[in-house]
Structure 1
Amino acid sequence: KNTGFAYANNFAVKKCQGDWIALLNPDAFASSDWLKKLLEATELFPGIKMVGSTQYLANDNHKFDGIGDFYHISGLAWRGKHNQSSIGTILEDREVFGPCAAAALYEKKAFLDIGGFDEKYFCYHEDVDLAFRMRLIGGKCIQKSDAVVYHVSSGISGKASDFAVYHGTRNRIWTFVKCMPISGLLLFGIAHILLNFAFIFWSIFRKNRIKPTLRGVYDGVRGLPIIWKDRKTIQRKVNLIALLKILTINPIKPLMRGDGSIKIQLD
């Protein structure tokens, strides 16, 4: 039975020993020192809860698959520099919103304390949701520039499959409503609604996208009563003002899959 990415990883984490857990997708191929470099970040930057990898496309090593996950105030998440040329780019360790869970390191205690991945998501956007909840308890993420993996990127489910479009659409709505502080819902709620209308409009002109997009929006809205109950159980130690340091406000960055990282500033 396919129980999904979220359930499978939660099950595995509970069986793990040690203080840190490393996740690596079956379609991600790590460099020989990948894990060593991730663990190095936990020593260099005490107190962090997440570490991300520099991901290159497995079929084109001169293009990035991603340099961390970023989150716009409208609720749009993206992988920085996805499908962009890496030639001439000099990377350094930076703070990002969260790691792509295809190749990431999490503090086990923090992971379990906030409930791990939300199993209702099944897969897609579950790492963004987890990173948001980590952020709400004050957890930060370092993108380790020299922890390298080569990722097929949606090599299992298919990048533009109905499955991917549906789950990505539905889970994007759930993450925004569940995790965004109430002040953020009031300030940016209209932007999120407009974002979903924009995706619906855009899907009309994309082959076979309209049905899974509409179904994702419908099920996303229909599931909000349960998501709202989940919202009440989320630990919140960080307010919107603090979150805005890592949330992206510029509307151009997500459209260009830009780098939303910031200089590392640990408490």
Structure 2
Amino acid sequence: MSPSVLVVTVTYNTGQTLVSFFDSLATASTRPLSVVVVDNASSDLTLERETVARHGATLLELNQNAGYGAGVAAGVAGYGDDVDYILITNPDVSFTPGSIDVLVDAAEAAQTAGSVGPRIIDADGTVYPSARNLPSLRTGVGHALFARIWPSNPWSRSYRAERDYGQDSREAGWLSGACLLVRKRAYDAIGGFDSNFFMYFEDVDLGARLGKAGWRNIYVPDATVTHTGAHSTSRSAKRMEKAHHDSAYLYLSNKYSAWYLAPLRAVLKLGLAARSWWVTR
């Protein structure tokens, strides 16, 4: 029997992106796909309702914006357990023909894979660094301090794994939640996304917990998608920068949670708060 795939995407005032999303989804797999669109309390759902109904998908309308990970969790929980894989994807993603089949085949060939991720192309045609190393304190601090003023610094390059986006599949510490196929059994085993992350780092945390539980995160460049951009966040850049820094602290405080590391957590919180203020001043 062919593996079953549930596609879950989360919208927030991004209904216009669903048209091209569904158009590309139609040729992304020869398998039947179940699609759940979770809306995080958008101001107007007219276009979402029309588009979802036209494509025979399910629209789950939440009454508040609890964040990306919580939206995905609601979509998965609302669908039920009868599925082998969950394709977690942003609504502003376009799939190349057969790309979902390539991801499923890769996961089927590597039964220890908890997640597999495609090559992600930005709107300008560049490859997005979507399969990265888990951030350490050293690389995280170096990336935070120098990423904007010295983009090619060694800490940022190490964090983004920028030299490893060729034609070969490889393991990664984590894969971008912009488009990610997760084995349902692995997702259930670790409890899915941590909804404490409102936005950003929920995919880093997911990859870390999958790896800790013995699952592998595998980058599969033979599957390609295009990510056109964060439409819902571009209008609230300062708020999203704060969310990014808050999530970075949450991830690092979870990683360095021992009682004797309390002074380190205090320094991290202060430093990230100062950096957040600096970049949004």
Match of 1:21 among 86, 92, 96: 86
Which residues of 2 match residues 133-148 of structure 1 at below 5 A? 133-148=209-224
Matched, 1:9 2:72: yes
Matches within 5 A, 1:221-240: none
> 1:119-160, CA deviations, whole angstroms, 9 ceiling, x for partnerless residues?
222221111111111122111100001111111242321298
Out of 57, 60, 69, which is 2:132 matched to? 69
> How many angstroms apart in 1 are the aligned matches of 2:277 and 2:253?
25
Would you say how many aligned residue pairs link Structure 1 and Structure 2?
Answer: 199
CA distance in 1, matches of 2:67, 2:130: 24
Tell me the TM-score normalised to structure 1 length.
Answer: 0.64
Letter in 2 for 1:126: E
Return the alpha-carbon distance in structure 2 between the equivalents of residues 96 and 199 of structure 1.
25
1:39 to 97, 104, 117: 104
State whether structure 2 residue 254 is matched by structure 1 residue 165: no
Q: How does 1:195-214 map to 2 (within 5 A)?
A: 199=272, 202=275, 206=279, 209-210=280-281
Q: Aligned partners of 2:132, 2:269: CA distance in 1, in Å?
A: 20
Cα shift at 1:113: 2.4
Deviates more, 1:93-102 or 1:42-51: 42-51
**Cα distance in 2, alignment partners of residues 159 and 44 from structure 1:** 41
Distance 1:178 1:201, change over 3 A: closer
Aligned mate of 2:171, from 95, 98, 112:
95
Structure 1, unaligned runs of 5 or more? 211-267
Runs of 4+ in 1 over 4 A off after TM superposition: 192-205
TM-score relative to the length of structure 2: 0.61
The 1:205/1:172 distance shift into structure 2, 3 A limit, reads closer
More strand by share: 2
Task: Identify the match of residue 51 of structure 1 among 112, 116, 124.
Answer: 116
User: Unaligned stretches of 5+ in structure 2?
Assistant: 1-40, 42-64, 144-155
Task: Report the secondary structure of 1:121's partner residue.
Answer: coil
Shift of 1:105: 0.7
Q: 1:143 to 1:57 in 2, by over 3 A?
A: same
TM-aligned CA deviation for residue 28 of structure 1: 1.2
Query: CA RMSD of the aligned region, Å?
Result: 3.1
After superposition, the Cα gap between the structure-2 partners of 1:119 and 1:203, relative to the gap in structure 1 and judged at 3 Å, is closer
Which has the greater radius of gyration?
2
| Maintained 8 Å contact 1:98/1:131 | yes
Structure 1 residue 198: deviation in Å? 5.4
Contact 2:114 2:183 in 1 (8 A): yes
Task: Please name the residue that 1:119 is paired with.
Answer: 195
Cα contact 2:172–2:218 (8 A) shared by 1:
yes
Cα distance in 2 between the residues matched to 1:180 and 1:195: 10
SS of residue paired to 1:109: helix
Distance (whole Å) between structure 1 residues aligned to residue 215 and residue 252 of structure 2? 18
Q: CA deviation at 1:37?
A: 1.1
The answer to whether the Cα contact below 8 Å between 1:25 and 1:102 also exists between their aligned partners in 2 is yes
In the TM superposition, residue 101 of structure 1 has moved relative to its aligned partner by 1.0
How many angstroms apart in 2 are the aligned matches of 1:121 and 1:203?
17
Give the residue type in structure 2 aligned to 1:41. Answer: A
CA contact (8 A) 2:198 2:247 kept: no
